Amino acid sequence: MSRPAVTTELATAIIAGGLAFEREVSLRSGRRIADALRHAGYLAPVLDTDAALIDRLIEARLDAVFIALHGETGEDGSLRSVLDLLDVPYVGAGAQSCRVAWDKPNAKAAVRAAGMRTPDWVALPESTFRELGAQLVLGRIVARLGLPLMVKPAQGGSALGAQRVDSVEDLPAAMVGCFAYGGTALIEQYVDGVELAISVLDRADRPQALPAVEIEPASGVFDYAARYTAGMTTYHTPARLSPDTLTRAAHLAERAHQILGLRDLSRTDAIITPDGEAHFLEVNVSPGMTETSLFPMAVAAAGLDLGGTCVSLLRRAAERSAGAG
C-alpha cells in the first residue's frame, strides 16, 4: 500500500517530552502522532521542551502545533500561555480552561456545581497532613468518606502516585506515596463499577463523544503499569454496557468538556455504577497517544483514522487563529 505524498499545505510540529514524571509516555505519544501524520502525508518534527524550543517555534513560523506534552507543563496551561504569547496556534484547550481541568478538585467542584455526579472527596496539602496531626486528620477523613478510598495526586496523570486504600492502617503510606508526585492529595470515595474512558472531539456545532473504552485491568486497579504495559489490561470498545448507559456516559463526557471550557479534544474518565449511573472522575486535556492509550482506541472504534483526525484538529487550530487575526 503506497503512502500519500508529503505535502507542505500545513506547517506543523509536535511538542512532547519535557521534564515531568510522564516524559517517556509523552515522547511515545509524540512519536505516535508523528507516524500518524506521516501516513496522512504530513511531516511533523517532535520538539522537546528545552531551552531551544521558543527559538525553534519562532523560526519555523508554524500554522499550528500538536501538544503531546503530558504532566504539569503540558496540561496546567503554562505552555499554552507561552504559545499564546508567541502567537503559535495549538490543538487543545486554552490556558485558563487547562488550569481548572488540571486540578482535579477544582474540576470535580465545577462538574458537581453543574449537577453531575462525582465521588465525594477531600483535598489535603502535605503541609496540613504533617502539621495538624496526620492520624487525627486521616481518621476524620475515613469517618466522613468511609472505606475503601482512592488516593491520588490532585494534579497529575497516568495514575502516578494513585493507590486504592482498603483499611485505615494503609492510608498513611498511601498518602506518603501520593506526595512523592504532588504537594496535594485527593482522597476520594472509591466507587465500585465499570471504569470507562470517553474521548470527545469538537465537531462543527458541538462536542461529540467517541465510543467509550471499557477498562478491565488484571490487577483490578488501572495504575501506571496497567496503563502502559501491554497485556496487563483488557480493553473493550465499545464498552459492554447497555445503549442507554453508554448514552448517559457520552452525555457526561460532553457536558464535562463544555462545563470546563475545553476545545478540540479531551478524555473523561468515569465510573459506571451497577445501577447504570455515570460518575465523573477526572478529565484529560492532552490525552495519551501511545500504542496502549485510550484516545486512539476510541478514534479507531469510531471508524476514524488517527492521522486524519490529527490533521483535522491541526487545521481547526490554524483556522481559529486565522479567524482571530
φ/ψ of residue 192, rounded to 5 = -80, 140
Residue 6 has pLDDT above 60, yes or no: no
Whether residue 254 sits in one domain with residue 109: yes
Report the Cα 207 to chain-centroid distance in Å: 16
Q: What's the confidence (pLDDT) of residue 225?
A: 77
Which CATH number belongs to the domain containing residue 173 in this structure? 3.30.1490.20
Phi-psi region of 297 (alpha: psi -120 to 50; beta: other; left: phi over 0): alpha
Whether residue 222 sits in one domain with residue 146: no
- Please indicate, yes or no, if residue 296 is contained in any of the structural domains: no
Domain count, the chain: 3
Which CATH number belongs to the domain containing residue 31 in this structure? 3.40.50.20
DSSP-based three-state secondary structure for 284: strand
Whether residue 179 sits in one domain with residue 228: no
| Average pLDDT of the chain, as a whole number | 92
Whether residue 74 sits in one domain with residue 18: yes
- Please indicate, yes or no, if residue 295 is contained in any of the structural domains: no
pLDDT in tens, 164-190: 999 999 999 999 999 999 999 999 999
Q: What's the confidence (pLDDT) of residue 158?
A: 67
- Please indicate, yes or no, if residue 299 is contained in any of the structural domains: no
The last residue of one of the domains, among 168, 189, 210, is 189
pLDDT in tens, 225-254: 777 777 889 999 989 999 999 999 999 999
Q: Please spell the DSSP secondary structure of 205-221, one letter per residue.
A: SSEEEPPPEEEEETTSS
Whether residue 207 sits in one domain with residue 60: no
Domain extent, residue 151, equals 121-189
Q: What's the confidence (pLDDT) of residue 5?
A: 53
| Active centre residues (catalytic) | 22, 158, 228, 267, 269, 282, 284, 288
Which CATH number belongs to the domain containing residue 257 in this structure? 3.30.470.20
Whether residue 272 sits in one domain with residue 236: yes
For residue 176, what are the CA distances in angstroms to 17, 72, 134, 147, 167?
A: 27, 20, 11, 18, 15
- Please indicate, yes or no, if residue 293 is contained in any of the structural domains: no
φ/ψ of residue 56, rounded to 5 = -65, -40
Q: Which of 45, 69, 75 is nearest to 57 (CA)?
A: 45
Per-residue burial over 52-79, b if 16 or more Cβ lie within 10 Å, else e, is ebeeebeeeebbbbbbbbbbbbbbbbeb
Overall average pLDDT of the 157-167 stretch: 86
The last residue of one of the domains, among 160, 189, 218, is 189
Overall average pLDDT of the 200-222 stretch: 92
Whether residue 255 sits in one domain with residue 110: yes
Whether residue 85 sits in one domain with residue 20: yes
Overall average pLDDT of the 93-114 stretch: 98
Q: What's the confidence (pLDDT) of residue 189?
A: 97
Overall average pLDDT of the 48-69 stretch: 96
- Please indicate, yes or no, if residue 278 is contained in any of the structural domains: yes
| 43-47, 199-203, 217-221, 260-264: the lowest-pLDDT one | 217-221
C-alpha cell at 284: 484529560
Answer for the pair 90, 66: CB distance below 8 angstroms, yes or no.
yes
Whether residue 184 sits in one domain with residue 110: no
Cβ neighbour number for residue 300 with a 10 Å cutoff: 15
Residue 46 has pLDDT above 60, yes or no: yes
Answer for the pair 71, 97: CB distance below 8 angstroms, yes or no.
no
Whether residue 51 sits in one domain with residue 165: no
Residue 309 has pLDDT above 50, yes or no: yes
Q: Which of 255, 248, 238, 256 is nearest to 275 (CA)?
A: 248
Whether residue 70 sits in one domain with residue 213: no
DSSP-based three-state secondary structure for 107: helix
Q: What's the confidence (pLDDT) of residue 2?
A: 44
Confidence of residue 1 (pLDDT cuts 50, 70, 90): very low
Whether residue 231 sits in one domain with residue 160: no
- Please indicate, yes or no, if residue 246 is contained in any of the structural domains: yes
